[in-house]
A = this chain, B = another copy of it.
Amino acid sequence: MLNTLIVGASGYAGAELVNYLNRHPHMNITALTVSAQSNDAGKLISELHPQLKGIVDMPLQAMSDISEFTDGVDVVFLATAHEVSHDLAPQFLAKGCVVIDLSGAFRVNDAEFYQRYYGFTHQYPELLEQAVYGLAEWQSDKLKETSLISVPGCYPTAAQLALKPLIDAGLLDLTQWPVINATSGVSGAGRKAAISNSFCEVSLQPYGIFNHRHHPEISTHLGTPVIFTPHLGNFPRGILETITCRLNAGVTQQQIADVFNQAYQNKPLVRLYDKGVPALKNVVGLPFCDIGFAVQGEHLIVVATEDNLLKGASAQAVQCLNIRFGFAETQSLI
Protein backbone atom coordinates (compact mmCIF):
# COMPACT_ATOMS: atom_id res chain seq x y z
CA MET A 1 0.00 0.00 0.00
CA LEU A 2 1.47 3.31 -1.12
CA ASN A 3 0.62 6.66 0.38
CA THR A 4 -0.19 9.37 -2.12
CA LEU A 5 -0.74 13.09 -1.93
CA ILE A 6 -2.72 14.93 -4.60
CA VAL A 7 -1.71 18.54 -5.06
CA GLY A 8 -4.10 20.81 -6.94
CA ALA A 9 -7.03 18.49 -6.65
CA SER A 10 -9.73 21.08 -7.28
CA GLY A 11 -9.74 21.09 -11.08
CA TYR A 12 -11.42 18.74 -13.50
CA ALA A 13 -8.37 16.52 -14.01
CA GLY A 14 -7.73 16.56 -10.27
CA ALA A 15 -11.21 15.28 -9.52
CA GLU A 16 -10.79 12.43 -11.98
CA LEU A 17 -7.45 11.57 -10.44
CA VAL A 18 -8.94 11.50 -6.96
CA ASN A 19 -11.67 9.20 -8.18
CA TYR A 20 -9.22 6.74 -9.75
CA LEU A 21 -6.84 6.72 -6.79
CA ASN A 22 -9.66 6.37 -4.30
CA ARG A 23 -10.64 3.05 -5.84
CA HIS A 24 -7.08 1.86 -6.39
CA PRO A 25 -6.43 -1.13 -4.11
CA HIS A 26 -2.75 -0.32 -3.64
CA MET A 27 -3.07 3.40 -3.02
CA ASN A 28 -4.00 5.36 0.06
CA ILE A 29 -4.77 9.06 -0.43
CA THR A 30 -3.21 10.96 2.48
CA ALA A 31 -4.49 14.42 1.58
CA LEU A 32 -5.85 16.64 -1.15
CA THR A 33 -4.38 20.12 -1.30
CA VAL A 34 -4.94 23.43 -3.01
CA SER A 35 -2.85 26.58 -2.88
CA ALA A 36 -3.01 28.57 0.32
CA GLN A 37 -4.67 31.43 -1.57
CA SER A 38 -7.45 29.34 -3.07
CA ASN A 39 -11.07 30.09 -2.20
CA ASP A 40 -11.63 26.38 -2.28
CA ALA A 41 -9.42 25.65 0.74
CA GLY A 42 -11.47 24.03 3.45
CA LYS A 43 -14.21 22.83 1.14
CA LEU A 44 -14.83 19.18 0.49
CA ILE A 45 -13.82 18.05 -2.96
CA SER A 46 -17.37 16.74 -3.29
CA GLU A 47 -18.73 20.27 -2.88
CA LEU A 48 -16.84 21.37 -5.99
CA HIS A 49 -17.38 18.10 -7.83
CA PRO A 50 -20.68 16.78 -6.50
CA GLN A 51 -20.48 13.61 -8.56
CA LEU A 52 -17.94 12.49 -5.89
CA LYS A 53 -20.40 12.95 -3.00
CA GLY A 54 -20.57 9.75 -1.01
CA ILE A 55 -17.52 8.43 -2.84
CA VAL A 56 -14.75 10.82 -1.79
CA ASP A 57 -15.67 13.52 0.71
CA MET A 58 -12.15 14.57 1.71
CA PRO A 59 -11.38 18.25 2.36
CA LEU A 60 -9.16 20.37 0.14
CA GLN A 61 -6.44 21.54 2.48
CA ALA A 62 -4.49 24.74 2.01
CA MET A 63 -0.83 23.92 1.47
CA SER A 64 1.73 26.63 2.11
CA ASP A 65 4.61 24.43 3.26
CA ILE A 66 4.92 21.02 1.65
CA SER A 67 6.56 19.47 4.70
CA GLU A 68 3.23 19.49 6.51
CA PHE A 69 2.02 16.96 3.97
CA THR A 70 4.98 14.76 3.09
CA ASP A 71 5.30 12.44 6.07
CA GLY A 72 5.22 8.89 4.81
CA VAL A 73 4.15 9.93 1.34
CA ASP A 74 5.44 7.71 -1.45
CA VAL A 75 3.90 9.32 -4.51
CA VAL A 76 2.83 12.88 -5.23
CA PHE A 77 0.55 13.85 -8.08
CA LEU A 78 0.82 17.44 -9.23
CA ALA A 79 -2.36 18.63 -10.95
CA THR A 80 -1.19 22.19 -10.63
CA ALA A 81 -0.42 25.14 -12.90
CA HIS A 82 2.79 24.85 -14.91
CA GLU A 83 4.85 27.23 -12.80
CA VAL A 84 3.60 25.72 -9.58
CA SER A 85 4.64 22.26 -10.71
CA HIS A 86 7.99 23.67 -11.77
CA ASP A 87 8.53 25.02 -8.26
CA LEU A 88 7.13 22.08 -6.28
CA ALA A 89 8.52 19.08 -8.13
CA PRO A 90 12.13 19.48 -6.86
CA GLN A 91 10.88 19.99 -3.30
CA PHE A 92 8.92 16.74 -3.34
CA LEU A 93 11.77 14.89 -5.05
CA ALA A 94 14.06 16.10 -2.28
CA LYS A 95 11.73 14.47 0.22
CA GLY A 96 12.11 11.18 -1.60
CA CYS A 97 8.71 11.12 -3.23
CA VAL A 98 8.01 9.85 -6.69
CA VAL A 99 6.49 12.80 -8.53
CA ILE A 100 3.90 12.43 -11.29
CA ASP A 101 3.29 15.84 -12.84
CA LEU A 102 0.27 16.54 -15.02
CA SER A 103 1.40 20.05 -16.00
CA GLY A 104 3.66 21.12 -18.85
CA ALA A 105 6.60 21.94 -16.58
CA PHE A 106 8.81 19.01 -17.52
CA ARG A 107 7.52 17.85 -20.87
CA VAL A 108 10.19 19.16 -23.22
CA ASN A 109 13.91 19.12 -22.57
CA ASP A 110 14.57 22.60 -23.92
CA ALA A 111 14.77 25.71 -21.76
CA GLU A 112 13.83 27.99 -24.67
CA PHE A 113 10.50 26.20 -24.99
CA TYR A 114 9.37 27.32 -21.52
CA GLN A 115 10.39 30.89 -22.14
CA ARG A 116 8.48 31.10 -25.36
CA TYR A 117 5.39 29.01 -24.77
CA TYR A 118 4.89 29.12 -21.01
CA GLY A 119 6.32 32.53 -20.19
CA PHE A 120 8.75 31.53 -17.46
CA THR A 121 12.43 30.68 -17.21
CA HIS A 122 13.01 27.06 -16.34
CA GLN A 123 15.36 26.68 -13.34
CA TYR A 124 15.92 22.94 -13.37
CA PRO A 125 17.67 21.74 -16.52
CA GLU A 126 18.88 18.64 -14.67
CA LEU A 127 15.27 17.69 -13.93
CA LEU A 128 14.35 18.21 -17.57
CA GLU A 129 17.11 15.69 -18.24
CA GLN A 130 15.86 13.19 -15.68
CA ALA A 131 12.13 13.48 -16.27
CA VAL A 132 10.50 10.65 -18.20
CA TYR A 133 7.82 11.75 -20.65
CA GLY A 134 4.94 9.51 -19.73
CA LEU A 135 3.50 8.56 -23.09
CA ALA A 136 2.78 5.28 -21.41
CA GLU A 137 2.59 2.89 -24.35
CA TRP A 138 6.06 3.96 -25.47
CA GLN A 139 7.98 4.42 -22.24
CA SER A 140 7.36 1.32 -20.16
CA ASP A 141 10.99 0.64 -19.43
CA LYS A 142 12.03 4.15 -18.54
CA LEU A 143 8.92 4.69 -16.42
CA LYS A 144 9.92 1.81 -14.16
CA GLU A 145 13.09 3.55 -13.08
CA THR A 146 12.31 7.22 -12.74
CA SER A 147 11.28 9.45 -9.86
CA LEU A 148 9.86 12.20 -12.06
CA ILE A 149 7.17 11.44 -14.58
CA SER A 150 5.87 14.19 -16.83
CA VAL A 151 2.45 13.26 -18.13
CA PRO A 152 1.98 14.39 -21.76
CA GLY A 153 -0.49 17.07 -22.78
CA CYS A 154 -3.96 16.05 -23.89
CA TYR A 155 -3.61 16.85 -27.59
CA PRO A 156 -0.06 15.44 -27.81
CA THR A 157 -1.12 12.11 -26.35
CA ALA A 158 -3.58 11.32 -29.13
CA ALA A 159 -1.40 12.86 -31.85
CA GLN A 160 1.67 10.85 -30.89
CA LEU A 161 -0.17 7.59 -30.35
CA ALA A 162 -1.52 8.02 -33.88
CA LEU A 163 1.67 9.11 -35.63
CA LYS A 164 4.61 7.61 -33.75
CA PRO A 165 4.34 4.03 -35.02
CA LEU A 166 3.98 5.24 -38.61
CA ILE A 167 6.94 7.57 -38.38
CA ASP A 168 9.10 5.01 -36.62
CA ALA A 169 8.29 2.50 -39.35
CA GLY A 170 9.21 5.01 -42.03
CA LEU A 171 5.84 4.90 -43.79
CA LEU A 172 5.27 8.65 -44.04
CA ASP A 173 6.63 11.16 -46.51
CA LEU A 174 7.41 13.84 -43.97
CA THR A 175 8.43 16.43 -46.52
CA GLN A 176 4.73 17.18 -46.45
CA TRP A 177 4.01 17.97 -42.84
CA PRO A 178 1.24 15.95 -41.23
CA VAL A 179 -1.86 18.12 -40.73
CA ILE A 180 -3.39 17.55 -37.29
CA ASN A 181 -6.88 19.00 -36.91
CA ALA A 182 -8.06 18.54 -33.35
CA THR A 183 -11.24 19.44 -31.49
CA SER A 184 -11.41 19.44 -27.71
CA GLY A 185 -14.20 19.77 -25.16
CA VAL A 186 -14.36 22.85 -22.98
CA SER A 187 -12.97 21.13 -19.88
CA GLY A 188 -9.59 21.41 -21.56
CA ALA A 189 -9.61 25.07 -20.58
CA GLY A 190 -9.84 24.20 -16.89
CA ARG A 191 -12.37 25.02 -14.18
CA LYS A 192 -12.57 28.77 -14.13
CA ALA A 193 -14.81 31.75 -14.73
CA ALA A 194 -14.13 33.32 -18.13
CA ILE A 195 -16.26 34.82 -20.85
CA SER A 196 -14.63 32.50 -23.37
CA ASN A 197 -15.76 29.48 -21.30
CA SER A 198 -19.25 30.73 -20.67
CA PHE A 199 -22.06 28.58 -21.97
CA CYS A 200 -23.50 31.05 -24.47
CA GLU A 201 -20.12 31.96 -25.95
CA VAL A 202 -18.78 28.48 -26.56
CA SER A 203 -19.04 27.44 -30.19
CA LEU A 204 -17.01 25.31 -32.55
CA GLN A 205 -14.00 27.44 -33.46
CA PRO A 206 -10.27 27.10 -34.06
CA TYR A 207 -7.95 28.86 -31.64
CA GLY A 208 -4.22 29.16 -31.03
CA ILE A 209 -3.52 28.61 -34.73
CA PHE A 210 0.23 28.11 -35.28
CA ASN A 211 1.05 29.03 -31.67
CA HIS A 212 -0.48 26.53 -29.26
CA ARG A 213 1.87 25.12 -26.59
CA HIS A 214 1.10 21.60 -27.64
CA HIS A 215 2.40 22.25 -31.14
CA PRO A 216 6.11 22.13 -30.23
CA GLU A 217 5.45 19.36 -27.69
CA ILE A 218 4.17 17.19 -30.52
CA SER A 219 6.89 18.16 -33.00
CA THR A 220 9.73 17.71 -30.56
CA HIS A 221 8.71 14.29 -29.35
CA LEU A 222 7.88 13.05 -32.83
CA GLY A 223 11.10 14.53 -34.15
CA THR A 224 9.44 16.07 -37.19
CA PRO A 225 7.48 19.23 -37.93
CA VAL A 226 3.69 19.08 -38.08
CA ILE A 227 0.80 21.49 -38.55
CA PHE A 228 -1.44 21.44 -35.50
CA THR A 229 -4.74 23.30 -35.43
CA PRO A 230 -6.76 22.97 -32.21
CA HIS A 231 -10.47 23.79 -32.05
CA LEU A 232 -12.84 24.36 -29.18
CA GLY A 233 -15.90 22.13 -29.45
CA ASN A 234 -19.34 22.60 -27.93
CA PHE A 235 -19.11 19.66 -25.55
CA PRO A 236 -17.60 19.25 -22.10
CA ARG A 237 -15.15 16.43 -22.64
CA GLY A 238 -13.22 14.54 -25.25
CA ILE A 239 -10.76 15.14 -28.06
CA LEU A 240 -11.03 14.05 -31.67
CA GLU A 241 -8.02 14.42 -33.97
CA THR A 242 -8.14 13.98 -37.71
CA ILE A 243 -4.65 13.68 -39.11
CA THR A 244 -3.86 13.89 -42.81
CA CYS A 245 -0.51 12.53 -43.98
CA ARG A 246 1.30 11.72 -47.16
CA LEU A 247 2.56 8.17 -47.49
CA ASN A 248 5.82 7.13 -48.98
CA ALA A 249 5.41 5.67 -52.45
CA GLY A 250 4.01 2.16 -52.44
CA VAL A 251 2.92 1.98 -48.83
CA THR A 252 -0.20 -0.16 -48.52
CA GLN A 253 -3.18 -0.18 -46.21
CA GLN A 254 -2.05 -3.54 -44.91
CA GLN A 255 1.36 -2.21 -43.97
CA ILE A 256 -0.25 0.53 -41.94
CA ALA A 257 -2.57 -1.91 -40.21
CA ASP A 258 0.39 -4.16 -39.42
CA VAL A 259 2.39 -1.33 -37.93
CA PHE A 260 -0.50 -0.27 -35.70
CA ASN A 261 -1.23 -3.81 -34.62
CA GLN A 262 2.37 -4.48 -33.77
CA ALA A 263 2.70 -1.27 -31.80
CA TYR A 264 -0.43 -1.74 -29.73
CA GLN A 265 -1.16 -5.46 -29.63
CA ASN A 266 -0.36 -5.68 -25.92
CA LYS A 267 -1.44 -2.19 -25.04
CA PRO A 268 -4.90 -2.41 -23.50
CA LEU A 269 -5.57 1.33 -23.43
CA VAL A 270 -5.18 1.83 -27.16
CA ARG A 271 -8.07 0.40 -29.16
CA LEU A 272 -7.57 -0.07 -32.90
CA TYR A 273 -10.49 0.02 -35.33
CA ASP A 274 -10.24 -2.44 -38.17
CA LYS A 275 -13.44 -1.07 -39.64
CA GLY A 276 -15.24 2.21 -39.17
CA VAL A 277 -13.70 5.19 -37.44
CA PRO A 278 -13.71 6.32 -33.83
CA ALA A 279 -16.42 8.66 -32.57
CA LEU A 280 -15.98 10.95 -29.63
CA LYS A 281 -18.72 9.38 -27.52
CA ASN A 282 -16.99 6.00 -27.54
CA VAL A 283 -14.21 7.27 -25.27
CA VAL A 284 -15.83 9.89 -23.06
CA GLY A 285 -15.54 8.75 -19.45
CA LEU A 286 -13.13 5.98 -20.44
CA PRO A 287 -9.31 5.69 -20.29
CA PHE A 288 -8.78 4.68 -23.92
CA CYS A 289 -7.27 6.25 -26.99
CA ASP A 290 -9.15 4.90 -30.03
CA ILE A 291 -7.46 4.90 -33.42
CA GLY A 292 -8.81 4.25 -36.92
CA PHE A 293 -7.56 5.13 -40.39
CA ALA A 294 -8.31 5.25 -44.12
CA VAL A 295 -6.07 5.32 -47.17
CA GLN A 296 -6.50 6.58 -50.70
CA GLY A 297 -3.61 6.66 -53.09
CA GLU A 298 -0.74 8.34 -51.33
CA HIS A 299 -2.89 9.93 -48.69
CA LEU A 300 -3.63 8.58 -45.23
CA ILE A 301 -6.12 9.89 -42.71
CA VAL A 302 -5.75 8.73 -39.13
CA VAL A 303 -8.47 9.46 -36.58
CA ALA A 304 -7.66 9.35 -32.88
CA THR A 305 -9.98 10.06 -29.96
CA GLU A 306 -9.62 10.14 -26.20
CA ASP A 307 -11.17 11.74 -23.15
CA ASN A 308 -8.97 14.79 -22.64
CA LEU A 309 -9.28 14.47 -18.84
CA LEU A 310 -8.53 10.73 -18.80
CA LYS A 311 -6.14 9.26 -21.37
CA GLY A 312 -5.25 12.91 -21.99
CA ALA A 313 -4.46 13.51 -18.31
CA SER A 314 -5.54 11.55 -15.23
CA ALA A 315 -5.93 8.06 -16.59
CA GLN A 316 -2.54 8.28 -18.24
CA ALA A 317 -1.08 9.54 -14.95
CA VAL A 318 -2.48 6.48 -13.17
CA GLN A 319 -1.33 4.26 -16.03
CA CYS A 320 2.19 5.63 -15.49
CA LEU A 321 1.85 4.95 -11.76
CA ASN A 322 0.78 1.40 -12.46
CA ILE A 323 3.74 0.81 -14.76
CA ARG A 324 6.17 2.53 -12.38
CA PHE A 325 5.20 0.32 -9.45
CA GLY A 326 4.49 -2.88 -11.31
CA PHE A 327 0.73 -2.96 -10.88
CA ALA A 328 -1.47 -4.18 -13.71
CA GLU A 329 -1.38 -1.47 -16.38
CA THR A 330 -5.16 -0.94 -16.32
CA GLN A 331 -5.58 -1.26 -12.54
CA SER A 332 -8.54 0.87 -11.42
CA LEU A 333 -8.89 2.37 -14.88
CA ILE A 334 -11.36 -0.03 -16.52
Contacts and interface: CB of A to CB of B under 8 A. Distances in A.
A280 B205 contact: yes
A187 B209 CA distance: 28
Contact of A176 (B176, B187, B229, B283): B176
A101 B278 CA distance: 33
Interface string A269-306: 00100000111111111101010001010010101000
Contact of A194 (B183, B186, B198, B299): B198
Interface residues of A, number: 64
A192 B198 contact: yes
A236 interface: yes
Interface string A185-220: 111000111110111111111110110000000000
B281 A203 contact: yes
How many copies of the shown chain assemble into the complex? 4
Contacts of A231: 240, 242
Looking at chain A's contact residues, is the secondary structure mostly helix, strand, loop, or mixed? loop
A53 B93 CA distance: 39
A200 B16 CA distance: 14
B285 A199 contact: no
A257 to B, nearest CB: 15
A191 B196 CA distance: 11
A295 to B, nearest CB: 8
A331 interface: no
A53 B282 contact: yes
A301 B191 contact: no
Contacts of A192: 195, 198
A299 B283 CA distance: 32
A234 interface: yes
A230 B194 CA distance: 24
A202 B199 contact: yes
A125 interface: no
